[in-house]
Structure 1
């Protein structure tokens, strides 16, 4: 599977651009702010129906325009598949496959998997639990559509329950019979999600540890701890015990929406006790483990997006990553960088077909 061509209209800083791509390596060179990352984000958007940079779709529309359009021609099992994503101000996002619109965007997730390694990955360590939950949810959703649908339903039920609690708070009442209706649904959905997260992490953590050891030469002891209220008590008991607190605060205080991943180095939080180099290795290992598991479960290699990472890595880590590329571990790869000379040195001796594009303020030229 690979992306054969890409077209952007009014996407971020691009008025219009059309690219014919290599099935192997595609490199985008340009100064900071030129729009290199936006090309990689367009590829990601075609895969996930969302940006990895901007959670609000309208923020991807070019300044002074009313819409954006992305078109990609994928080659999958020797068949060409046209994917189009369009967003217009005040209208519902539209995603089509061979000109037929998806009824549910969830049906598209996993069809064209992708993994991005970016400086923004540091948010997985520095930010709150929601960022780490989204990370694990996005991985599982690519190969388990039922999981994604269950997660969507859980969040809708959670919103309804919170709205009811807010009403109770304003009216200074608590109706157990009414809240039980939402509790039963939340319990069923939450237990499914918790079970699947637990099972996934059992497979994920050893693969993650393998890649960390590979790129750091087996120097550190690292681990991931799954933190969930459902490990200590069953969900029904947790909700029942939390009724008074939920009523007082006006929202649901227990459940899988409170889950977190604790990243550890030598049994201590890497956020506090890990060096910058250790944290970079940790993050890259997370993404490489994601790549391997998704690739194995879907029986196809995801597109790998390497966004401006070479100036953030030391020579040893770059060498290990390039070894994986030269061993054809990955399929199609997109790379952004500011330094042409550095990229040429990085790929010196790697005999893989590649295309190089120069990016300059919304203009892209091959070569």
Structure 2
């Protein structure tokens, strides 16, 4: 899959931009603050319905505008898709695919696939567990879009249950019975989410190990992934052996229910849910030790890169060809890591690269360059897709 044309209206600092793209690597170059990252952020938004830089939609809308629009023509094998997302902070976003409105924006998830590597990814190794949970769940939804509903429903039930726990000390009779009902919903959805995460960690781990060896060198310690859960049956963080048998959703639901029953008194005392996938963690190991707290700065960078390259390899193994987005990362990498990343970028169907200095990007990736300055994105090399450029006005008319 690749993006043939990207159009933004009132997105971030862009009043309006129309950019024809083509397969292979494209470097978007410009000084900091000109908006080059905003272009690739828009591509990532189509894939995840979220930003890798902010948690909400409001910062994505240009100051003074009521809404932003991200519109793209995509080529997937022999068919073309026209995707439009209308971002409305404080109101429901609207999504259309080939002019047809989708009932719920999350129905877009899984249709557009991208893998983005950015300097912020260092938090995947050094940051809080919430960052790694988000990483897992975003990849989960990309592979299996129906899990977006499971995750959303789990978050809703968790919020309701926590609200009830805050008043549970004074609760009597039917209030306690109500907590039992929410327990049933939480354990059912939580068991499904736990099973999916464990399967994902098992599938992703060998790809991350290979990517880390490629980036850090064959003599480096082996990278591995494990899952640390508040439910002992779901894992204690030990790296998952390749081919290991995993518990099924029903078994995990039962284990989660038993653990919640054990912790009921503690939860009532603290007024919050202490057991479930919302408190779990992805454990990244180097050799025999966890990377967090032990990995050097260079090792942490290599691990962050290996996680993203592992995602890219996993989606490819699933039969998808995601857009690879490399946001301002070549300047932070040494020669060996640049070489390893460039090899992957050359093999992707489409790679979008941002850089403040063109010379930071390996020469073999500079065939197509887009200069960003003064609110304009100007192609300096081949800019038309293989079937010819798409005029921005035509793209907008098609979406109506």
User: TM over 0.5, yes or no?
Assistant: yes
Q: In 2, distance between residues paired with 1:212 and 1:90?
A: 41
- In structure 2, the partner of 1:365 is 378
- The residue correspondences of 1:1-20 to structure 2 (distance < 5 A) are 1-20=1-20
Q: In 1, distance between residues paired with 2:139 and 2:162?
A: 27
Q: In 1, distance between residues paired with 2:292 and 2:158?
A: 30
Moved more, 179-188 or 302-311: 179-188
- In structure 2, the partner of 1:133 is 133
TM-superposed deviation, 1:2:
0.9
Unaligned 5+ runs, structure 1? none
Say whether 1:238 aligns with 2:238: no
CA contact (8 A) 1:35 1:361 kept: no
TM-superposed deviation, 1:335:
0.1
CA contact (8 A) 1:113 1:302 kept: yes
RMSD over equivalenced CA pairs, Å = 1.8
Q: In 1, distance between residues paired with 2:379 and 2:143?
A: 34
Say whether 1:101 aligns with 2:110: no
- Note closer, same or farther for the CA distance 1:277–1:232 as it changes in structure 2 (3 Å cut): same
- The residue correspondences of 1:159-178 to structure 2 (distance < 5 A) are 159-169=159-169, 171=170, 173=172, 175-178=175-178
TM-superposed deviation, 1:342:
3.0
Secondary structure of residue in 1 paired with 2:75: strand
**Normalising by the residue count of structure 2, what TM-score does the alignment of the two structures yield?**
0.85
- Note closer, same or farther for the CA distance 1:240–1:137 as it changes in structure 2 (3 Å cut): same
TM-superposed deviation, 1:78:
1.9
Say whether 1:120 aligns with 2:120: yes
Q: In 2, distance between residues paired with 1:146 and 1:9?
A: 30
State which of 256, 262, 265 in structure 1 corresponds to 2:283: 262
Q: In 2, distance between residues paired with 1:271 and 1:90?
A: 37
- Which digits, 9 at most, give the CA deviation of each residue in 1:134-177, with x for residues without a partner? 101111111212322222211111111112112324x4658432
TM-superposed deviation, 1:252:
0.7
- In structure 1, the partner of 2:84 is 84
TM-superposed deviation, 1:357:
0.6
- In structure 1, the partner of 2:354 is 336
TM-superposed deviation, 1:325:
3.1
TM-superposed deviation, 1:23:
1.6
Q: In 2, distance between residues paired with 1:340 and 1:235?
A: 52
**Normalising by the residue count of structure 1, what TM-score does the alignment of the two structures yield?**
0.93
CA contact (8 A) 1:115 1:305 kept: yes
- Which digits, 9 at most, give the CA deviation of each residue in 1:334-356, with x for residues without a partner? 0000112333xx124x6xx9421
CA contact (8 A) 1:47 1:111 kept: yes
CA contact (8 A) 1:222 1:267 kept: no
Count the aligned residue pairs. Answer: 358
Secondary structure of residue in 1 paired with 2:3: strand
- In structure 1, the partner of 2:324 is 304
CA contact (8 A) 1:194 1:230 kept: no
CA contact (8 A) 1:4 1:72 kept: yes
- The residue correspondences of 1:135-150 to structure 2 (distance < 5 A) are 135-150=135-150
- Which digits, 9 at most, give the CA deviation of each residue in 1:105-142, with x for residues without a partner? 23211111100000010121232111101101111111
- Which digits, 9 at most, give the CA deviation of each residue in 1:203-231, with x for residues without a partner? 21111101101111122232222101223
CA contact (8 A) 1:22 1:354 kept: no
- Which digits, 9 at most, give the CA deviation of each residue in 1:276-315, with x for residues without a partner? 1111110111111101111222x22100000000111000
